[in-house]
Amino acid sequence: MSRFVLITSDPAFERRVRQAAAGLHGTFHAIAADYLPPGPDDLLKVLNGDPVEVIMLGPGLPLEDSLRLASLFDLQYPEVSMVLVVEDGEGIALPAMRAGIRDLLQPGSDIQTIRSLLERASLAAAGRRRGLGNSVEGQPQSGRIIAVMSPKGGVGKTTITTNLAVGLGKSAPMKVVVVDLDLQFGDVASGLMLEPEKTLADAVVGAAVLDSVVLKSYLTLHPSGIYALCAPLRPADADQISGEQVGRLLSQLSNEFQYVVVDTAPGLGEHVLATLELATDAVWVCGMDIPSIRGLRAGFGVLADLDLVPANRHVVLNFADRRTGLTLKDVEATIGCSVDVVLPRSRAVPYSTNKGVPLLEDGSRDPVTKGLRQFAERFSGGGNPRPNKKLHGRAGVV
């Protein structure tokens, strides 16, 4: 059960937070004060019962003291999510991020906004506890980099990417980031109904390159509990981003997140090859049509020659339809390996895309949703990826 703690000298704000927390699974404890204790242990020793997950600081507390206490919690109890309540967040976001603050909140926020923030902070605390429990002291953790790719466009690659990220976010909240590497015409932002303030073009230059805290401040949080680094707003910006910058970015993110899901551009350009040099998994997507299937076979051959085939492979056959004149055996014979996931053609997919709500987020019972859920379980422990063996058999023709 979650434990929410508020320290403030504002009774009206306390009442709103108490009402917001009443709708959540957890207990709420308020401390009426305009000052803070010297350290985390001084605060925790007066709190009994369930472990503390979220601590909200302010309003009415000195800003410097709040940042100092948050920094100490970040060092000593990183599993606790700290929230800072400030009137104006301009100029505060970066110092707050460096201090380990999980989120900022305005004192005048309504009950629904406060409740949503508490939910996110609670999910983040749960994810951190799992991460700390799985880590080995002295050994840095490196997340899985999952490259979702296809030699040709129009096969539903972005839909699979966003649903995979949302699906993984259910088992690893706040530990999943989706990266849109279709730098000219990426659709991750629209697929998740996001309006990012910062994009990948900002993340590969300046302070973000040297400081992962700054980099994380450039990510956009999705309501499902995943983060997104969206494609540049201007297609021309793609020409200013090198493969080396992409590789450095993905390495940074893999040190901060359990899963880095990358939506690559169609084809095998510089940025795709840079991704494959680091990827632990490759998700190959093809439609049930001859050009898409032959393109996938050709792509396998090129990457085998370049020795850029990741350790784990996952083949997704999208838009499966018996009326195409092709069978699953035809597809497997042509590409020279087994298909791992078959997703049938469905009206629910374009409807979901147009809404900007992935199927795994809205809980649809469509057969495609079931297939996407099973696909996500391959990475989160519920399935077994196939090693890259016998990828390039030439049997069969379509």
State pLDDT tens for residues 136-173. 443 444 789 999 999 888 899 999 999 999 999 988 88
**b/e per residue, 263-299, with b = 16+ CB within 10 A?**
bbbbebeebbbbbbbbbbbbbbbbbbbeebbbbbbeb
What is the Cα–Cα distance from 317 to 245, expressed in whole angstroms?
31
DSSP assignment string, 235-260: GGGGGG--HHHHHHHHHHHHTT-SEE
What is the Cα–Cα distance from 29 to 18, expressed in whole angstroms?
8
Exposed / middle / buried, residue 160 (Cβ in 10 Å: 0-12, 13-18, 19+): buried
Contact partners, residue 207, CB within 8 Å, separation at least 6: 214
Quote the tokens at residue 135: 């880590």
Give the model's pLDDT for residue 293: 92
State pLDDT tens for residues 104-113. 999 999 999 9
DSSP assignment string, 154-168: SSSHHHHHHHHHHHH
Give the model's pLDDT for residue 137: 41
What is the Cα–Cα distance from 92 to 219, expressed in whole angstroms?
17
395: alpha, beta or left, given left = phi > 0 and alpha = psi -120 to 50?
beta
State pLDDT tens for residues 253-304. 998 899 999 999 998 999 999 999 999 999 999 999 999 999 999 999 998 8
Q: Which domains does the chain have, with CATH numbers?
A: 2-134 (3.40.50.2300), 144-387 (3.40.50.300)
What is the Cα–Cα distance from 379 to 376, expressed in whole angstroms?
6
pLDDT band, very low/low/confident/very high, at 129 (cuts 50, 70, 90): low
Relative to beta strand 26-32, strand 2-8 is: parallel
**Bridge partners (DSSP) listed for residue 230:** none
pTM for this model (two decimals): 0.66
Give the model's pLDDT for residue 213: 74
State pLDDT tens for residues 175-230. 899 999 999 999 999 999 999 989 999 999 888 887 777 888 889 989 888 999 99
What is the Cα–Cα distance from 398 to 385, expressed in whole angstroms?
26
What is the Cα–Cα distance from 169 to 361, expressed in whole angstroms?
10
pLDDT band, very low/low/confident/very high, at 49 (cuts 50, 70, 90): low
